[in-house]
Structure 1
Amino acid sequence: MSAPANYPIESVENAARVLLMLRDRRDLRVADVAVELGIARSSAHRMLTTLQSQGLLQQKPTRVYAAGPQLVQIGVAVIGATDLRAVARPTLERLRRHLGETVHLIILDGSTIVFLDGVEGTFAIRAAERTGDRAPAHPSAAGKVLLASLTREQLRERYPSSRLRGGTTAAKKSRRMLEDELEIVRSQGHAVNLGESEIGLHALAVPVRDSAGNARAAISVSGPSVRLTEDKLTEHVPVLLQAADQLGASLS
């Protein structure tokens, strides 16, 4: 935690604290912000709506607040993925049209994944589009294909503990179990998530490699397990691999 400024401007400090709360949670509620900052709920609401007006937050239909488009753009620019996102967008849209399911472009940041961009599926019941969100890497299909590109030493830097946290009861709970699964991912070139990140959600992901063979990102397709069965995911592997190869060929 950084030391407080010598002459803090309270409103600016509170706004910064609100945005930093998104490191640990996907959604913000007025009541939670009020408690965290020690201010009245009316003041917390004004703070959130002000940040929303600048595009740093967005309000969801459930009336909670999440990272807004401008905050996502800042994050994308900082990690140097602006060009990747722009180049990948047509590929994501083509895949959505072809598969009908939600498609995401995802990168690895430490032991978490970052949803750089996404397009929501066309079915009435579908996986949500999660641009700007973060999630544990090891329970996710995209996280697995990106972790599989690391050396054992790099993997253990990200997971110094032998126990893993995050995901559902179906997720791998030890580093050894994860390492064994990543060996399989390396050999087959893709990874699946069978209810490991969320109950009832299945996903498939493949890596996007640049001309040097580096895994720059992952493309994932996700949807409800009743429709994206294991057999259906297997059917989608060639489609995603072809899309990832075409996208990778355009990266320097």
Structure 2
Amino acid sequence: MQENPRKRGRPKSFSGNAAQTTIQSLDRALEVLDRLAASKGLTLTEIATDLGQSPATIYRVLATLEARAFVEMDPAAQAWHVGPMAFRLGSAFLRRSSVAERSRPVMHDLMQATGETSNLGIERQGEVMFVSQVETNESIRAFFPPGTLSPIHASGIGKALLSRHGEDQLNRYFRTCRQDSFTDKTITTPEALRQELALIRDQGYAYDDEERTVGMRCVAAPIVNLYGEAVAGISVSGPTHRMASERIAEIGALVRDAANTISRGLGAPDAGDNG
């Protein structure tokens, strides 16, 4: 027996034209929610003035949202705020905002733009664990199958993640993790690594210049969540003859933009400042 096909997300008769498919009153209600979410509370008059609507119209919107607990009013200040139901919906979004899922299309774009392999990694007990990779078609390429571990201090993604650590986290890292040498370019002292992390914060991307493997380079940037915490890192890696020194700034900008795109998808408050 043939299974029933899954229902479509929209009817065929709707072309996607905004004027045809949007509901004005619902759009206005969402605009009110958006204004409240960006503020510390607004009065009825402030909302109406901001949106160019009459107070009576905006009050009907607020009363409807209040009945569903999407907004609530502080009687003392006569100010409206986002309500608990809005948080519940936001939590539902967080449950499906898998960083690996959201990163995949961005990684494909990054590989196409740079011509090099794109990687996604997370921090795990003082090391970087690679969780996803989009390989270049070049015959000579970096290869990190999911589950591969790399020392955090000798990895582009690792240094990008360390750059987001607070002072207490960094001190804990230096106390508990060794900075072993792998090549003559590996950074092996806390002082030198701190200087490197300051540079990463300034430019928004990290650069692994043959610090783990001779002949291979990597450029990475941190991915942050809605709390501004680094939850993963994205990078491109390849041989030095293709990732020449004069290309690093260009590649760094592309990697930083890719990280910002993913961070925005995770609800980062200011994805433009994740370095």
With the shorter chain as reference, the TM-score category is 0.5 to 0.7
Distance 1:81 1:199, change over 3 A: farther
- 8 Å CA contact 1:102–1:129 kept in 2: the answer is no
How much has 1:169 moved relative to structure 2? 2.3
Does residue 1:220 correspond to 2:250, yes or no? no
1:188-207 correspondence runs (5 A): 188-207=203-222
- 8 Å CA contact 2:115–2:136 kept in 1: the answer is yes
How much has 1:221 moved relative to structure 2? 0.3
The two structures have a TM-score, normalised by structure 1, of 0.64
- In the other structure, the counterpart of 1:243 is 258
The two structures have a TM-score, normalised by structure 2, of 0.59
- In the other structure, the counterpart of 2:197 is 182
- In the other structure, the counterpart of 1:126 is 141
Alignment equivalent of 1:168, drawn from 183, 197, 207: 183
Q: Which runs of 4+ in 1 moved over 3 A?
A: none
Distance in 2 (CA, whole Å) between partners of 1:86 and 1:163 is 32
Alignment equivalent of 1:152, drawn from 157, 167, 177: 167
- 8 Å CA contact 1:115–1:134 kept in 2: the answer is yes
Identity %: 29
- SS of aligned partner of 2:153: coil
Does residue 1:89 correspond to 2:99, yes or no? no
Alignment equivalent of 2:118, drawn from 103, 109, 128: 103
Segments of 5+ residues of structure 2 without an aligned counterpart are 1-94, 268-275
Over the residues paired in the alignment, what is the CA RMSD in angstroms? 2.1
- SS of aligned partner of 1:106: strand
- SS of aligned partner of 2:262: helix
> In the alignment, residue 97 of structure 1 is paired with which amino acid?
Q
How much has 1:250 moved relative to structure 2? 0.9
Q: Which has the larger radius of gyration?
A: 2
How much has 1:130 moved relative to structure 2? 2.8
Distance 1:162 1:124, change over 3 A: closer
Distance in 1 (CA, whole Å) between partners of 2:218 and 2:131 is 17
- SS of aligned partner of 2:234: strand
Does residue 1:112 correspond to 2:136, yes or no? no
How much has 1:152 moved relative to structure 2? 2.2
> In the alignment, residue 168 of structure 1 is paired with which amino acid?
T
How much has 1:136 moved relative to structure 2? 0.3
Distance in 2 (CA, whole Å) between partners of 1:81 and 1:184 is 34
Segments of 5+ residues of structure 1 without an aligned counterpart are 1-79
Corresponding residue pairs, total: 173
Cα deviation digits, residues 88-128 of structure 1 (max 9, x gap)? 11111121122221100111123200101011111111111
- In the other structure, the counterpart of 1:139 is 154
